[in-house]
Structure 1
Amino acid sequence: MDPIRESLLKKSHQAKLERRGRLLGLFCISLIVVVVAAIFYFVASRGLATFYHDKINLWDFLTKQAWNPGTKDSHGIPEVGALPMIVGSFLVTIFAALVATPFAIGAAIFMTEISPRRGMQILKPVTELLVGIPSVVYGFIGLTVVVPVIRYLFGGTGFGILAGTFVLFVMILPTVTSMSVDALRAVPRHYREASLALGATRWQTIYKVVLRSSLPGLLTAIVFGMARAFGEALAVQMVIGNAALLPHNLVSPASTLTSILTMGIGNTIMGSLENNALWSLALILLLMSLVFNLLIRLIGRKGALKP
Structure 2
Amino acid sequence: MALSRQIKERAIRAGFFTTAFTSIFVLALILFFLFKEGLPIFDVYPIKKFLFGTEWYPTADPPDFGIFPLLVGSILVTVASSAIAIPLGVMTAIYLAEIASHRVRSIVKPMVELLAALPSVVIGFFGMVVFAPFLQNWLDVATGLNLFNAAVMLAFMSVPTICSISEDAIYGVPNELKEASLALGATHWETIFKVVLPASLSGISTGVILGMSRAIGETMVVLMVAGGAGLIPESIFDPVRPMPASIAAEMAEAPFQGDHYYALFATGIVLFLFTLLFNVLADYIAEKHKQVGAATL
If the TM-score is normalised by the length of the shorter chain, which range does it land in? over 0.9
Q: Find the aligned partners of 1:116 and 1:300 in 2 and give their Cα distance.
A: 29
- Which one of the candidate residues 166, 178, 185 is aligned to 1:199? 185
- Which one of the candidate residues 55, 59, 64 is aligned to 1:79? 64
Q: 1:130 to 1:298 in 2, by over 3 A?
A: same
Q: 1:16 to 1:32 in 2, by over 3 A?
A: same
User: Which one-letter code corresponds to 1:40 in the other structure?
Assistant: L
Shift of 1:116: 4.6
SS of the residue 2:57 aligns to: strand
Shift of 1:11: 7.4
Shift of 1:167: 0.8
Shift of 1:255: 0.6
Shift of 1:293: 2.6
**Aligned position for 2:46:** 57
1:220–1:299 CA contact under 8 A, matched in 2: no
- Which one of the candidate residues 21, 29, 39 is aligned to 1:30? 21
The answer on 1:70 being equivalent to 2:59 is yes
Provide TM-score, normalisation by structure 1: 0.89
Moved more, 246-255 or 186-195: 186-195
**Number of aligned positions between the proteins:** 292
SS of the residue 1:45 aligns to: helix
1:50–1:280 CA contact under 8 A, matched in 2: yes
Shift of 1:288: 2.0
Deviations 1:11-40 (A, max 9, x none): 722222222222222222221111111111
Identity, % of aligned positions: 35
**Aligned position for 1:274:** 260
Shift of 1:261: 0.7
Q: 1:160 to 1:21 in 2, by over 3 A?
A: same
- Which one of the candidate residues 100, 106, 115 is aligned to 2:85? 100
- Which one of the candidate residues 6, 28, 37 is aligned to 1:15? 6
- Which one of the candidate residues 180, 189, 199 is aligned to 2:166? 180
Q: Find the aligned partners of 2:110 and 2:209 in 1 and give their Cα distance.
A: 23
2:201–2:286 CA contact under 8 A, matched in 1: no
Moved more, 245-254 or 216-225: 216-225
Deviations 1:116-142 (A, max 9, x none): 513422221111210111100001111
The answer on 1:143 being equivalent to 2:128 is yes
Q: 1:11 to 1:115 in 2, by over 3 A?
A: closer
Shift of 1:199: 0.8
User: Which one-letter code corresponds to 1:251 in the other structure?
Assistant: F
Shift of 1:189: 2.1
2:229–2:240 CA contact under 8 A, matched in 1: yes
Q: Find the aligned partners of 1:294 and 1:38 in 2 and give their Cα distance.
A: 21
2:82–2:212 CA contact under 8 A, matched in 1: yes
Provide TM-score, normalisation by structure 2: 0.92
**Aligned position for 1:91:** 76
SS of the residue 1:71 aligns to: coil
Q: Find the aligned partners of 2:133 and 2:103 in 1 and give their Cα distance.
A: 35
**Aligned position for 1:131:** 116
Q: Find the aligned partners of 1:180 and 1:231 in 2 and give their Cα distance.
A: 22
Q: Find the aligned partners of 2:163 and 2:116 in 1 and give their Cα distance.
A: 11
1:94–1:226 CA contact under 8 A, matched in 2: no
Shift of 1:227: 1.6
Moved more, 12-21 or 171-180: 12-21
Q: Find the aligned partners of 1:151 and 1:165 in 2 and give their Cα distance.
A: 16
User: Which one-letter code corresponds to 1:196 in the other structure?
Assistant: L
Q: Find the aligned partners of 2:199 and 2:6 in 1 and give their Cα distance.
A: 43
The answer on 1:156 being equivalent to 2:147 is no
User: Which one-letter code corresponds to 2:269 in the other structure?
Assistant: L
Q: Find the aligned partners of 1:59 and 1:111 in 2 and give their Cα distance.
A: 49
Q: Find the aligned partners of 2:237 and 2:287 in 1 and give their Cα distance.
A: 39
Give the gaps of 5 or more residues in structure 1. 1-9
Please tell me the root mean square deviation across aligned C-alpha atoms, in Å. 1.8
